[in-house]
Amino acid sequence: MAIALIDYNMGNLGSVHKALEVAGGDVRVITSPAELRGCRGCLLPGVGNFGDGMENLRSSGFDRALPAFVAEGGFFLGICLGMQMLLESSEEAPGVAGMGVLPGAVRKFPATGAKVPHMGWNSVRFEPGCPLRPREEKTDEPFFYFVHSFYVPVNPDYTAGTCEYILPFSAALHRGRWFATQFHPEKSQRAGLALLKNFITLVET
């Protein structure tokens, strides 16, 4: 089944597209909700500001189309900003509503003297039942590549993987057919490809 890669002018589509193909996905780049038809999975990448991202999603209609897509049986994977916009709001853009698929607010890392953004490789501790967890890795806490200044607090209702930088935060989310990662699997080499393969397997099952 095809996986829709959403182009809303906020993501590094090239590297994500290539990683999905290497992982075995049938990828279709789309720019409008109507193109979700015929796909069983979709991926929302994202690099940039929360407010700009939500404005682009709303202007294109994806903010309404994505919940409908998942409600009808589709699988969603958000990356970085594509994860943060699932929540209700973000300190990055006060007054701008997120998609509200998950409760809570995205927070800015506190000033502690540590470098922000959090940039580079860090380990992720997945919940045992998380379908995206790369089981091919020899360690229970594989390393992934992060670039972010804002984070999603840990919430036991939907946090599927945790990381620690300055404080513990959500590195991966899962509720129903909604999945998301704060890290960039397309930049995370073998572990990232394994995670994308697991998502593709979910879509094709």
Tens digit of each residue's pLDDT, the chain (205 residues): 799 999 998 877 999 999 999 999 999 999 999 999 999 999 999 888 999 999 999 999 999 999 999 999 999 999 999 999 999 999 999 999 999 999 999 999 998 989 999 999 999 999 988 999 988 666 778 999 999 999 999 999 999 999 999 999 999 999 999 999 999 999 999 999 999 999 999 999 8
- CATH code of the region 2-204: 3.40.50.880
Cut 0.75: pTM above it: yes
Q: What residues act catalytically?
A: 80, 184, 186
Degrees to nearest 5, angle at CA 203 with 55 and 160: 70
Residue 184: closest CA among 175, 197, 196, 166:
196
Q: Name the residue ranges covered by the structural domains of the chain.
A: 2-204
Confirm if 99 and 86 have CB atoms less than 8 A apart.
yes
User: How far, rounded to the nearest angstrom, does the alpha carbon of residue 146 sit from its chain's CA centroid?
Assistant: 12
